[in-house]
Structure 1
Amino acid sequence: MKLYLDPGHGGSDPGAQGNGLQEKDVNLDIALRIREKVINGYDNVEVEMSRTSDTFKSLAQRTNEANAWGADYYLSIHCNAFDGTAQGYEDYIHSSLSDSSTTAGYQDIIHAEVIKVNQLRDRGQKKANFHVLRETTMSALLTENGFIDNAHDGALLKKSSWRERVAQGHVNGLARAFNLQPKQDGSGTIYKVIAGSFKSKENAEERSDFLQSNSIEAFVYSTTISNELWYRVQAGAFSSRENAERRLEEVKNAGIDDAYIISESTDSNQDDITGYSILGQTFQSPQHMNMYVNEINPDAIELGNYYLTFGEYYGVRGDVAFAQAMHETDFLRFTGVVQPDQNNFCGLGATGPDKPGASFDTPREGVLAHIQHLYAYASTNSLPDAYPLVDPRFDLVDRGSASTWAGLNGKWAVPGDNYGKSILNLYERMIDSTMQSLEETLQKIES
């Protein structure tokens, strides 16, 4: 994918001004952050920019350059201004385009992702006859990121942390719109912040409640150490050691001196994400699972606690199972043959419009069936008996035939050659969302 990134104005053209800011500077800062995130975060993406410093380039030069390069997408970054009273975010495609056009589809996605993070009033998706939208031969979007002369918006525009979030929102939109594939760092490691280990579950829950009262996400899980049952309080799981250390500092600042970081391999074959096993520990908390789906579907019911509880009991990675459920149900929007009242979150038995699959009485039972079905594929052991067997297809599974998520290819989904990878890519985006939540929490504390 070839992205032409255009920070508006520059050089002798400052653009809009207000609150001690010049639009050209804000546009460039956001655009440079977008470029860095796209290049470093995704495979097979090229980025060209109309300018990378405070220089002037005409509108014709910008569009001619993008057209000659053969860009797949043109993204122009701007800020707005009026009379100091207007505020909010809006974006534009060309006025000649229909709402069903490909360009409008891209606008839908990017607009939704930016609005999630920018803390601005949503002024809507619009159309205009702007030069950069009219003279480009590829799909193009112009975003107006707040009103620089408004007190509320201007205060945000001044913050580096806010511009970082806005850049990330644009990148999230681009990734969704163009199905960009995240780069794999090959580390295969998750860093968990442990805020205490207890023999008493009650003491662990008290610690967890204390952290949550201090706006620090936490939950309790059990683990066996030297044949003894312990209850650990987990305050985050991160693919970046640096982010884990920042959370550790936050926990210690809250008065928890015995907190520490443990690292665990997420993959028996660390060079290949498809080797990620179905059996294993759940890293993401119920809060983060629920938060992740609610960012995309605000009406989604909360399932995170069920995936943690049943995943922990059966030894199945509950957070990856949750990602599978989001993949199967389109983030609980149920846009396929399975309907919401079936409480069937993994498509059990669903093969087409005439066969929408199994139904379960409650969401809890539906998640239990999902986890049991994964257990059937991943293990040859007898099903533990603390919960009744509710998976109607458990005995139809070739037991132990899929120990990894990639092993479900052609079994859970037919032909489904990339089924497991799709689940794991979604899971990685959920981890990224967790890290973004950490950034926002730290910024609130700092402010």
Structure 2
Amino acid sequence: MKLYLDPGHGGKDPGAIGDGIVEKDINLDIALRIRASILNDYENVEVLMSRTDDRTKSLTERTEEANAWGADYYLSIHCNALDGKANGYEDFIHDSLSNSSITARYQNVIHGEVMKINGLKDRGQKKANFHVLRESTMPALLTENGFIDNKKDAALIKQASWRQKIAIGHVNGLAKAFNLQPRPVEAKQIYKVIAGSFKQRDNADERVSYLKSKSISAFVDPLLIDGNQFYRVQAGAFIEKEGAERQLEQVKQAGIKDAYIIRPEGEVSEQAGYPILGSTILSPDQMNQFAKSVNPDATEIGLYYLLYGQYYGIRGDIAFAQAMLETDYLRFTGVVKPEQNNFCGLGATSSDNPGASFDTPEKGVLAHIQHLYAYASSAPLPGQYPLEDPRFGLVDRNSATKWEVLNGKWAVPGDNYGELILNIYERMLDASIKKLEESLQDVKANRK
């Protein structure tokens, strides 16, 4: 199923404004939540959004894009405004359609699922001659999610938890209307061998082809991490851990050094619950060597993670592991480019909005550590170094003291984001321990 998801308005067109709320921002927030939920919870779904940031885009550009893409459904997200007294939820299909049309049947289903969960007055299912309903060649629905100039509705709209409910209501309706298949529960109870995660589909497809040339079956599994589309290459799933470990070794022998295992849901890793605040254990050399074991051309930034990690009391070595996840081991295969020195994806949302840039790698690492400090502590930022993090003031202070808690904050929804960071850190620890053991064996051999 191909869903064209359209957050209404944007850029120079703010939409309705009321009670301190700008419609274009709410529309985008809800739409991003819809995309995150449907991609991560259901199989065989593709989503193309008309915008993923605050940009101006004409109605014609939106419908032409949806039509050219061959979308199965057009869903436009809006909020309402009138006179401060009107309130509630309503949705629209084109006024030329009969009540027995497939578009009307989809409207019935989605309307019902949204109303089950949104807590708003039901203003009914309606019809109109809106451009996006008229010019789209596929079934289309426009939803109006409350009145931002109504005190009662606005109080709900301002709540992130309510906007998440709205998103889930839309997703439940889409799933029911299109008979979408949820990702099986049993898939969460198995060990998955992951042979790379990429921000570009072509890179993931290339990895799958390479593995197949080595007689290793693999497929691309789309998901969202940190609000961005990723394409994860899965090369096996096993009920028994030993089977996954054997497959992992085979994948590594094929030359995929950054392969790893995702544990079943509920299995606690040795590093689970690791706080963000703490001492850095690994040395800069150990961090740099680990990065170069995957990417020989990796820039050496381990010293900065040690230096600033120690100053701010942040686990610099785990922050380094986060940087490896975000940058694909400093290969920068996503929207962020090497010259940005942005090692943690600060502000990056799409190829048109690749996020913050920093003059030097050192400043990029400093901004990363400061952003982690904002999440992990409520204390004022120590003053020895200038504030490099452009998003420090946007963080809900002390809201994520452990790496796993970043799942719904740094990464939205990013259900395994913290675990992926810790997985890389564990592998970095293992590699360092193995190196030390080899050095010890050499010392013993020389003594003989």
TM superposition score normalised by structure 1: 0.44
TM superposition score normalised by structure 2: 0.44
Greater RCO (Cα-Cα under 8 Å, separation 6 or more): 2
